[in-house]
Amino acid sequence: MNVKEIQSKTILSTSKVYDYVINPYVGCQHACSYCYARFMKRFSGHKEPWGEFVDVKVNASELLAREITRKRKDRVWVSGVCDPYQPLEGKYQLTRQCLELLVENDWPVTVQTRSPLCLRDLDILTRGKSFEVGLSVTTADDGIRKLFEPNAPSIKERVRALGELHQAGVRTYAMIAPILPHAESLAEELVGKVDYVRLDRMNYHYGDWVYRKYGLEEFLTDEYFSRTVETLASAFAAAGVSCL
């Protein structure tokens, strides 16, 4: 793993998903096979495979402290092209520092991660007046998770984290995207732990080789996705959980 500490020029960027996005890191140790953020290699100058490099923006909180005084207050996505709670966050605490500033200045925040490390920051997350935290939960089968997301935390850990966040009063959501094989039963795991869910097939093909390598092509069909979305949407609706 090539880890490099860098000085970034900016940290609070405009986003097409939410109003702003903060990415404290360039690159991601989770190295999910399908990750759309692989395109970042075109801009970072890294030649290493995706998942084998991370640039750490060590001045992230310093930049944010200045930028939030100059920009219009609106929702911030943490993060868009890296996991803000990838393992290096345990050492650098850049996400924690940024969230602390956003809480102090009363900015709305949407956190998206795969890691239960977010529970470390419950003291901050519960103070945010308009904070929500989502975990990506792509399958109910941890064996499938190991094929597509071998370096990411287990499904069980993610579901547990959602439950603890929800119980603590944090608004929570599950990002079921991309919908991986054996996602059909996720409603059973998530009901009571989330305020809403996001369902998305995500039509990019970086991870198609995994389906082919392990004979999972049947789960790439339109029929599978349509059936799974219908099954999940129906189950969540019956439990009063909205699907976006």
Query: Hey, what are 40's tokens?
Result: 């970042």
Do residues 66 and 91 make contact, with C-beta atoms less than 8 angstroms apart?
no
On average, the pLDDT of the chain sits at 94
> What pLDDT is recorded for position 42?
61
> What pLDDT is recorded for position 49?
80
Q: Say if residue 39's pLDDT is above 80.
A: no
CATH topology of domain 2-243: TIM Barrel (3.20.20)
Q: Say if residue 8's pLDDT is above 60.
A: yes
Q: How far apart are CA 157 and CA 213, in angstroms?
A: 27
Give the 3-state secondary structure percentages of the chain, helix then strand then coil, rounded to 5: 40, 20, 45
For the entire predicted model, the pTM comes to 0.94
pLDDT in tens, 154-191: 999 999 999 999 999 999 999 999 999 999 999 999 99
Bigger pLDDT: 137 vs 41: 137
pLDDT in tens, 106-125: 999 999 999 999 999 999 99
The three-state secondary structure class of 113 is strand
Do residues 21 and 67 make contact, with C-beta atoms less than 8 angstroms apart?
no
Task: Quote the percentage of the chain above a pLDDT of 70.
Answer: 97
Q: Say if residue 40's pLDDT is above 90.
A: no
Question: Helical H runs in 23-154?
Answer: 41-44, 60-67, 89-92, 94-104, 122-125, 142-148
Looking at the DSSP bridge assignments, the partners of residue 53 are: 2
Q: Say if residue 41's pLDDT is above 60.
A: no
Give residue limits of the domains in the chain: 2-243
